[in-house]
Chain A
């Protein structure tokens, strides 16, 4: 059972208090009427299913009832961060976590890499 930091209540709570709501950052197209059927279908039905870092929308259903996002490793189940609506994640698949070879010019990721190292044992 997850232990989730609610960014609004600002403390960790048990998963029982929360409900997952699918992939995060799925914005409704600004002008639905000008969307093609394919575009609208993609918005409605198509979702990522990565093994690794994933951004998810959750709600603190029994609590403050606020929606927020979670960056979670779908393989290790480690939660790397939670953040409020409107905020952007620090961790993402594009970031070098778990793939040091692709790290490139990333900066300020030392502590993130440390967190990822902690989950490597799980992925092995």
Chain B
């Protein structure tokens, strides 16, 4: 059985044996669209971090903070639009709303993290939902990333307004996505699966004049 009942809530291990083939939300784009190679002149590098574990965490900040620190070793971002990463940079917690956070961990860890969080949270009122199949993380690096973002979103991405450690949900093209700034030179996008192909096309189009390259 894949379901494990935690009290009155069911968790679910979605992963089969590693031999089973899997496809990221960008597979259609890779298989049927253009995949420009990165060159030394690429002003933007696009790289998907596929198959990571994505969890939505709902609850009160005070309740969740202790559990998150215990399980992930990261403090819950205290401010709206905050993004916290662990030392390796592989695990992150992002503020989505006053009672909602996005946790991203290496692929396959999500069920373990969920169960440890549930153990730590006990009877508190909270929710944890695995959304790993529904979204994917993309990193953008390069000196022209900011211009590409300005073509795509009306959010003010100037460093004075969008410093390292900030993450926002924004309109992007005619769709939307989560935009994160985990590092000085690095931006991240969290794309929703069903919109991924459109967003990929949009990003490639916007990045064409900067010689955008896709690293696979």
Contacts and interface: CB of A to CB of B under 8 A. Distances in A.
A16 B97 contact: no
Give chain B's interface secondary structure class.
strand
B208 to A, nearest CB: 24
Given A9-B80, A9-B81, A64 B169 contact: yes
Contacts of B51: none
A16 B154 contact: yes
A102 interface: no
B169 A62 contact: yes
B126 interface: no
B174 to A, nearest CB: 10
Contacts of B96: 64
A63 B153 CA distance: 13
B28 interface: no
Interface in B137-178: 154-155, 168-171, 176
Given A10-B80, A11-B81, A14-B154, A64 B171 contact: no
Contact of A17 (B80, B100, B171): B171
Nearest to A13: B155
Interface residues of A, number: 13
Given A17-B170, A17-B171, A64-B169, A8 B154 contact: no
A14 B97 contact: no
B98 interface: yes
Nearest to A1: B154
Contacts of A8: 80, 97-98
Nearest to A66: B97
A63 B169 contact: yes
State the 7 A-B residue pairs at the shortest beta-carbon distance, nearest first: A64-B97, A62-B176, A14-B154, A16-B171, A10-B80, A9-B80, A63-B169
21 contacts: A8-B98, A9-B81, A9-B168, A10-B80, A10-B81, A11-B81, A13-B155, A14-B154, A14-B155, A17-B169, A17-B170, A62-B169, A62-B176, A63-B168, A64-B80, A64-B96, A64-B97, A64-B100, A64-B169, A66-B97, A66-B98
Interface of A: 8-11, 13-14, 16-17, 62-66
